[in-house]
Amino acid sequence: MDPLTAATPAGADRRGRIAFVTGKLAAPALEDVLAGVAKSGALEYEVVVLNIAVAALMTAEWAARRIQLPPGVERAVLPGHCAGNLDVLHEATGVPFERGPKDLRDLPRHLGVEGAPAREYGAHAIEILAEINHVPRLSLDEILRIARRYRADGADVIDLGCDPGGPFGGIAAVVAALKQEGFRVSVDSLDPREILPAVEAGAEIVLSVNSSNIDAVRGLSGSGCTAVILPDDPRRLDGLDETIEKLSAWGVRYRIDPVLEPIGFGFARSLGRYLLVRDRYPEAEMLLGIGNLTELTDADTAAINLLLLGFCEELSIRSVLTTEVISWASSCVRELDIARRLVHHAVSRRVLPKHLEPRLHLLRDAVVHRFGEERLAALAREIKDRNFRLFAEDGKLHVIRAGVHIDGDDPFELFARMGVEDASHAFYLGYELAKAVTALTLGKNYVQDEALRWGFLTREETTHRGAERGAAPEDSAR
């Protein structure tokens, strides 16, 4: 059948336009979204409405037999749920097709006109040292497994945390095994009996050095190894200047760590020490150990890591040390890898760190879309099939199908009114209603058959639209 084509903005140039293909029920909402984008002059478009109620149920092959594109279209976008081989549409029309987002309200981001990262986004200046704690208690296989995970998450250096109470005789073998797999390695110990074998085996950073063990690193000049300097007494920076003077005289490279303290134990003053040291040594390399805040604070770590890296970026602190011991800090390396790119872009470009990094929106979504009561009511009047559509917004769950529109905030009550008897269908709807309630609780977008978005922690779902809700496009077109 001939498609229905909506008018484009008056006087617009017809060259380079994008055709957005949809079904009858979604057409008004699509028009609203595209009209908002077009106001900025960033889009020239045509909307092509095919003779099908639910656009998500069409396939590429079905659409290719029916579609007619207006002149001047150079690109066409299908609903994200549309299955099939897009090549058949290209062959039928001569225009390249692509799938858009599965929620049409995400079209602005898909088109690169709202919240999309800048093209130059992604550079960073901060190095991540990821500590493997209690190395003497772990097997070599365990150490290598953790190191590989850290590297995959973005760590630059694997830090080997040694235990107090005696030297770990296997430190050189562990360093050598990591180096053989291409890892950069640091050793976290005050004991010269662990430091020296680790350095000889290839460790390139020693954490940490103060007046108690400074002689252990005297011979590092020319080795390329770096010592991380701690004050003898962090509260007053005692011994820091003397240690720096000695290492400088010996030609040993160093980074300064004034020591971040936990909240309630000098946190604010410890931040001040980093400022003081930067003023005193404006060209020195510095390191900030993040674990005293992330591991010792009852809070999810992503925002904490971002704030600390913002502090580091502004102060030119180019190394951070993190751990992933306690459960709520178990994704710190990945968080830091993402956050260092955001803060570098913000500081170097002098732009706000906003609408650039959706992967760090873990709990709540950056924008919560809504259809509104009027649009949902209109959808309920138009739907002619008996497939359930679920929505969640403004504190309520909505269940819609032909002749039915019920809403409320209790999924058990709604399910009882839905009259579902098939066990597999009941399981599917129960799962979807649980997701919808979670979205309402946390302020997230709920899209039926789609995973809730948890930033970089999102676990994509395989849609069950066809198995539990679907119908053939020809049936839905009636």
Q: What is the pLDDT of residue 472?
A: 37
**Residue 361 DSSP label:** -
Mean of pLDDT values over 328-343: 97
Q: What is the pLDDT of residue 119?
A: 59
Tell me which amino acid residue 387 is. N
Model confidence at 462, pLDDT cuts 50, 70, 90, reads: confident
Tell me which amino acid residue 164 is. P
Q: Which CATH code for domain 4-110?
A: 3.40.50.11600
Residue bearing tokens 């003053």: 269
Q: What is the pLDDT of residue 477?
A: 34
Where are the domains positioned within the chain? 4-110, 127-356, 373-476
Q: What is the pLDDT of residue 2?
A: 33
What pLDDT digit, counting tens, does each position of 196-250 carry? 999 999 999 999 899 999 998 998 887 889 999 999 999 999 999 999 999 999 9
pLDDT reading at 468 higher than 90: no
Q: What is the pLDDT of residue 6?
A: 35
Model confidence at 355, pLDDT cuts 50, 70, 90, reads: confident
CA distance 429 to 42: 39
List Cβ neighbours of 356 (8 Å cut-off, separation of 6 or more).
115, 117, 118, 121, 342, 345, 346
Q: Which CATH number fits domain 127-356: 3.20.20.20, 3.40.640.10, 3.90.1150.10, 2.160.10.10?
A: 3.20.20.20
Which class for 472: exposed (0-12), middle (13-18), buried (19 or more C-beta within 10 A)? Answer: exposed
CA distance 478 to 51: 8
pLDDT reading at 475 higher than 70: no
375: closest CA among 84, 30, 124, 7? 30
Mean of pLDDT values over 305-319: 98
Model confidence at 435, pLDDT cuts 50, 70, 90, reads: very high
Residue bearing tokens 């920076």: 237
Are the folds of 4-110 and 127-356 the same?
Answer: no
Model confidence at 374, pLDDT cuts 50, 70, 90, reads: confident
Q: What is the pLDDT of residue 118?
A: 57
Q: What is the pLDDT of residue 40?
A: 65
pLDDT reading at 474 higher than 60: no
The share of the chain scoring above pLDDT 90, in percent, equals 69
CA distance 303 to 338: 11
Q: What dihedral do alpha carbons 365, 366, 372, 377 form, nearest 10°?
A: -40
